[in-house]
Chain A
Amino acid sequence: MVLEKVIDMITELNGAERDTVTPEVLLTELSLDSLDIAELILNIEDEFKISITERETLKSVGDVVAYIEKNK
């Protein structure tokens, strides 16, 4: 459920096909620039009502999903 929502948010920003966004993919491989990443973080914070304070630890899509599931 969280993964699906995160994929929605990423593809909305980068326009990529959904099947290209998997838990293993690194955020740096998603054709997102630094402001896209910032917008993604804001969207996640709003959607899941969390505050992401350890952004440097989030390397992959799977890391983001795990962080949300742990903190929401």
Chain B
Amino acid sequence: MSFNIIGTGSALPNLVVTNDDLAQFLDTNDEWISSRTGIKERHIISDETLFDLAKIAGQSALVDAKVSATEIDMVIVSTLQGEYISPSLSCLIAAELGITCEYLFDINMACSGFIYALDLADTYMKAGKATKILVICAEEMSKLVDWKDRSTCILFGDGAGAVVLEQGNSLEALKLKNSGSAQFLNVSACAGNNPFCKREKNEAYLKMDGQEIFMFAVTSIIEDIRNILQATHHNADDVSHYLLHQANMRILQTAQKRLKLSEVNFPHNMEHCGNTSSASIPILLDELNKSGKLHCGERLLFSSFGAGLTSAAALIKWSKN
């Protein structure tokens, strides 16, 4: 017994920042950003908080699932950094939503966090410790990027996506992979003010080697998708929707073309969301679900990659009407 996805939700900040807006204070322009990334705009936190977004996404998923907060017996939040280092965002969100479960925690697996959360949910379901789980991926990338670095800050956006899972048999395969290196993608921790520390204090901003990440992403997506299909004895055509982590249109298109699959099976929303790290797949999933593009019995393949360097993929059968 694994899980079915029975509800989805998402929330984006009200403020929309276009490429032209960025060009007001960065040496860049819409043509440069659009042609290299496919991103036209992103939502950035201004008046609201990450907690607000996580709460709205979670509530929306509960409503969609027709499940009350009291029925939830586990909460997993995927975030690079919540409102606080401690307490965890999951503790605060559960209390806010009226969830009184024993099992709740945050995970920090960067852009692959949603699929790592699904793996944890699968494990708790199989162990019989949980029957209904709320997964929320909430990311405030705008506080992690360096707004003076035009090569990275243009790529990211803020947002939250959520799913409600209940016991079921939708998960057909899930694979996780890690190489354990901070060399090409990292966010340094806040250095603090320890007067005895002799280490050099790093700037606490996201650093990324775009070329290396592009190559890692494309090769990982292709390998993970092929491995999942092979392990489940499916053809590529058996999958109706390939939901890739929404990092960059060129990564998505390069992977899709090298897999020799149709672009219509690779939905995307990065053009208006940017890269929202672990929230990107559940936000896209919610958009597809709420717009009636998913049909009961269709197969969905999630594929992500990110700091770690990790890659992750999962194949599920959509069971919601």
What residues of chain A have their CB less than 8 Å away from a CB belonging to chain B? 33-35, 37-39, 41-42, 46
What residues of chain B have their CB less than 8 Å away from a CB belonging to chain A? 36, 210-211, 214-215, 218-219, 248, 250, 254, 258
Q: Are A42 and B211 in contact, CB atoms less than 8 angstroms apart?
A: no
Q: Are B210 and A35 in contact, CB atoms less than 8 angstroms apart?
A: yes
Smallest CB gap from B32: residue in A: A33
Residues of A within 8 A of B215 (CB): 38, 41-42
Distance from B308 Cβ to chain A, minimum over Cβ atoms (Å): 19
Bound complex: CA A8 to CA B60 (Å): 51
Residues of B within 8 A of A42 (CB): 215, 218-219, 254, 258
Which of A33, A37, A38, A46 counts the most B-chain CB atoms under 10 A from its CB?
A38
Smallest CB gap from B214: residue in A: A38
Interchain CB contact (< 8 A) of A35 among B219, B250, B258: B250
Known: A35-B36, A35-B214, A39-B218. 7 other contacts (CB 8 A): A35-B210, A35-B250, A37-B211, A38-B211, A42-B215, A42-B218, A42-B219
Bound complex: CA A38 to CA B184 (Å): 14
Bound complex: CA A46 to CA B254 (Å): 13
Residues of A within 8 A of B211 (CB): 34-35, 37-38
Smallest CB gap from A43: residue in B: B258
Bound complex: CA A33 to CA B32 (Å): 11
Can you list 21 A-B contacts (CB < 8 A)? A34-B211, A34-B214, A35-B36, A35-B210, A35-B248, A35-B250, A38-B211, A38-B214, A38-B215, A38-B218, A39-B214, A39-B218, A39-B250, A39-B254, A41-B215, A42-B215, A42-B218, A42-B219, A42-B254, A42-B258, A46-B258
